[in-house]
Structure 1
C-alpha cells in the first residue's frame, strides 16, 4: 500500500492536474473561482490568489467575486480590485452600478479608482468616459498609462451628456476631456463616427478643443496625391485640419517617420508650419534611442527631433547651438523620461542612472 500511494502521488504530481498552480498552494483544495480582463482569482483552504500571487490577509471563508469579469472581489474586511486592496471601500455595501462603474454607498469607482464624488445622491454614470453629479463632471482618461479620473465644474447638470469618449456638452458648454471648447455652440455641436478627436457646430470643425479653418467636415475629401491630407477643392489640410501654406506641392508631399513632419521638393513642414533653414533633400527624423536596463536600441524614429545634412531641429525650430556630432534623443523606459542632449547640455529631460550609464559608454547599443 505505501508503494501504491507513493506511485499515485508521483503520477498526480506530473499530471496536467498539477500544472498552473501557485507555489505552495494546496493541491486538493485549490480551484479557480473567476477571471477578469487581466487575470484570474483562485483559492485553496488557506489562501486567496490573483494571477498566482497570494493576496496577503484575504479571508478565504468570506471571499467572493463582485459581478462577472469585473476585477472586483471582497471578503469581510476589504474590497479588492485585480487582487489589490481598495483603501476606504466598504465590503458590505460594495456593488456594481453599471457595466464598469461600482459603488459602496459613499463613493463611486471606475476600474478600482475612486471618483471622490462631490454629491453621491445626484451622481449618474454617463456615456463612455463621462459621469456627472450636480456639481462636477467626471472624466475618466483611459489614454494615460494608468486610468485617471479628473473633475471639472459642470455648466448644467440636467442637460449634460457625453457625445463620445472625448467630447461632451451641456446647454452652456462643449467639453473636450477636461477643457471647455471655447466658442463652440452646444446647440449645434455634434461628433462623427470617423474619429473621436473632432466635432462640428454651425461655425466650423474643431480638432480636439481648438477651432479650425474648416467650415464643413462633409465637404472634405482625402487628397488623392497623399492620403494623410485633406482637400476641400481649394486648400490642403493636415489630419488636424490645419491649412497648409501657399506653395505647398501636394503632388510631391511626403510624410516623415509617421510624425508631424512632411516635405515636398523644396520645403520641410512641421504640421502646417514651414521649418525654416531645413534642407528638404537631406531632412529626416533622428533615431529615437530607447534605454531599458542594460541595453539601448535605436530602431525607431523620434517624433520631436530631426536633422538635415548640417543642422538639428526640434519640431519646427532649428537648434542653432546644438552639437551635430554628439546630439542624442530618446526615451528612458525605466524612469519614463524623454531626453535630448549633446556634449554641452540637456535640451529635454535630465540625467538618470540609465542615461549616465549610456553616456559613460557602458551600455550596448542595438542598431537597425
Structure 2
C-alpha cells in the first residue's frame, strides 16, 4: 500500500531525524513503491536512473554510483530541510591495519597516516584514544586532517560533516583551511563532498553565504548566490538557486533558467546555448548536441560530444577522425 506523502512530509518536518518509512540507502524503486510516481525527476542521471525524485516541495537525492541509494532529503521551498545519511557521527575507533592512501592505520601499537609519498607517525596519540574517518581524525587532545594537527580545534565538539567539511564549536574546517566568519549555527553541507574521482569537493551554505570547496586553494564564496533557495544538484559540480545555475562554483553565463538541462559528463544546455562546466561552447548547435561518453566511463576520462557540425573533446573542437578514435578507446575500456 502506498504511503500518503502529505502525512509523511508533515511528520518529517516535526521530527527531521526520523525519515521512516524511508531509510538512507533505499533504492529508487523502493521509494516509488512507497510514495508512487514522483511529480518530477532530474535530467541528471546515472545508470539510466534520475539522481533526484521530487515530490511536491521535497527532493530525494540518490547516489550516482551503484546501487544508487538514497542519501539526501532536501526541500527547495520555504521550509528549511536538508538531511543526509551523514548526520550521524562519522568518526569511529581506528581499526585499519593496512596503509591505504589518505587513510589512518595502526602499526606496532601506534597511529600512522598514509600519505601519497610516505607514512607519517602521529606522535603522542594512543590508538585507544583515537577515532577517524578517511583523512579526518581526533584524539581527546587534538584534531587532525591527515597527519596535520588542526591548530586550535576543539576535540570535544569536533565532528565530520562529509569528505570536504568538518566543524567544531569555533570554526568550519575544510581540506584546504578554515572558513572565516562562518555562521556555525546555520552551517550545512549540501552534498557528499566528494567528486567522481574521489577528491574532496562540494557545496555548503550558512545563513549569509554559499560556499564551494574543491581542495584547490581557499574555499570560494559564491557572491550573489541566493542562500535561501540555493541547492547542490548532488554531483558536487552543479548547483542552482531561483535565479541562476552554477557549475564548479561559478555562474553559467547568459543561461536561460527555465529551459536549462544537465546532459551529463559536465555538459549542459538551455534553449539557445551549450555549456561545458561553466564555459559556453561558442557555435555549438544546442538542438543536435549529444553526449557520447559512456555513462560508466572512468571518472577522469575525456568527455566526448558532438553536434551536426562539430566534434568535441571536453570543451575543445577536434577532428572527426581523432574523436572517433578516442570514442572507440572509451568503449573498449568498458
Change (3 A) 1:187 1:158: farther
Structure with higher RCO (Cα < 8 A, 6+ apart): 2
Match of 2:147 among 59, 79, 83: 83
- Matched residue of 1:214: which SS? coil
Report the counterpart of residue 208 of structure 2 in structure 1: 135
Q: How does 1:1-368 map to 2 (within 5 A)?
A: 33-34=95-96, 37-42=101-106, 48-51=111-114, 53-56=120-123, 58-60=124-126, 63-66=129-132, 69-98=133-162, 101-111=165-175, 113-116=177-180, 118-127=182-191, 128=193, 129-142=202-215, 144=216, 149-163=219-233, 164-193=235-264, 195-196=265-266, 198-212=267-281, 213-216=283-286, 219-220=289-290, 230-232=306-308, 235-240=309-314, 254=322
Q: Which residue of 1 aligns with 2:29?
A: none
Contact 2:187–2:206 (CA<8 Å) still a contact in 1?
yes
* Unaligned stretches of 5+ residues in structure 2: 1-93, 194-201, 293-302, 327-334
TM-score by length of 1: 0.46
Structure with higher Rg: it is 1
Distance (Å, rounded) in 2 between the aligned partners of 1:114 and 1:169: 24
Shift in alpha-carbon separation, 1:167–1:218, aligned structure 2, 3 A: farther
CA distance in 2, matches of 1:42, 1:228: 43
Q: Which whole-Å CA distance do the structure 2 matches of 1:243 and 1:173 have between them?
A: 27
Larger strand proportion of the pair: 1
Q: Give the whole-Å Cα distance in 2 for the aligned partners of 1:33 and 1:78.
A: 19
Question: For the structure 1 residues 123 and 40, does the alpha-carbon distance in structure 2 shift closer, same or farther, using more than 3 Å as the test?
Answer: closer
Moved runs in structure 1, 4+ residues, more than 4 A? Answer: 240-244
TM-score, scaled relative to structure 2: 0.50
- The answer on whether the counterparts of 2:183 and 2:206 sit within 8 Å (CA) in structure 1 is yes
When the two structures are aligned, how many residues end up with a matched partner? Answer: 205
SS at match of 2:262: strand
Unpaired segments ≥5 residues, structure 1: 1-31, 245-249, 259-368
The Cα shift of 1:95 comes to: 1.5
